[in-house]
């Protein structure tokens, strides 16, 4: 494939995918902290899902029927 031996293909594939995964992981760390700092999203509030889990308790985040429009709206609000 592409003039490479299987071993070479495996090695390049491995390198490319691992680099991608590392970039994603650091991107995720950046996302977690920056979104909290900017106030667009507070991940820590999700801990409350375990603490306030009675069926009568208030929802941490309501599930909307039309998630496409609501997502962006809620992102701006929170």
Partner 1 sequence: MFHWLEKRPFFFGVGIFIVISFAGLVMIVPHFVEQARPVVGTKPYTTLELTGRQLYISNNCVACHSQLIRPFKNETDRYGSYSLSGEYAYDRPFLWGSKRTGPDLMRVGNYRTTDWHENHMMDPAAVVPGSIMPAYPWMFTNTADVDTGWAEAETVRVVFNVPYNKDIPLMDGSVVQVPLASTVEGGRAEALIEAQAVAAEMKNQDVKDAVAAGKIPEIVALIAYLNALK
Partner 2 sequence: MENRPLEYDYTVAKMFLFTTMLFGFIGMLLGVVLALQMAWPEFNTILGDTMAEYINFSRIRPIHTSGVIFGFTLSGIFAGWYYIGQRVLKVSMAESKFLMIVGKLHFWIYFLAILLAVVSLFAGYSQSNEYSELEWPLDIVVVVFWVLWGLSIAGLVGIRREKALYISIWYFMAAFLAVAMLFIMNNIVIPTYFVSGAGSIMHGVSAYAGTNGAMVQWWFGHNAVGFVLTVPLVGMIYYFLPKESGQAIYSYKLSLLSFWALMFVYVWAGGHHLLYSTVPDWMQTMGSIFSVILILPSWGSAINMLLTMKGEWKQVASNPVIKFMVLSSTFYMFATIEGPIQAIKSVNAIAHFTEWIVGHVHDGALGWVGFIIMAALYHMAPRIFKREIYSKALMNTQFWMQTLGVILYFTSMWIAGITQGMMWRAADEFGNLAYSFIDSVDALHVYYIIRAVGGILYLAGFIIFIYNIIKTMSARPVEERDLQNATPMAA
Q: Which of 20, 21, 27, 30 binds partner 2 (CB under 8 A)?
A: 21
Is the distance from CB of 36 to CB of 42 less than 8 angstroms?
A: yes
Place of tokens 């902290």: 33
Q: Binding partner of residue 16 among partner 2, partner 1, none, CB under 5 to 8 Å per kind?
A: none
What contacts 39, CB < 8 A, 6 or more positions away?
Answer: 78
75 belongs to the binding site for partner 2 (CB under 8 A): no
Query: Given the rule CB under 8 A, which residues bind partner 2?
Result: 21, 25, 28-29, 32-33, 36, 43-44, 46-51, 53-57, 59-64
């Amino acid at each position: 494939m592409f003039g490479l031996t299987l071993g070479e293909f495996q090695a390049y594939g491995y390198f490319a995918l691992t680099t991608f995964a590392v970039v994603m992981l650091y991107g995720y760390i950046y996302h977690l902290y920056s979104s909290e700092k900017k106030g667009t999203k507070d991940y820590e509030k999700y801990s409350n899902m375990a603490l306030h889990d009675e069926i009568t308790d208030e929802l941490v985040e309501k599930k909307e029927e039309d998630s496409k429009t609501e997502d962006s709206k809620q992102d701006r609000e929170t």
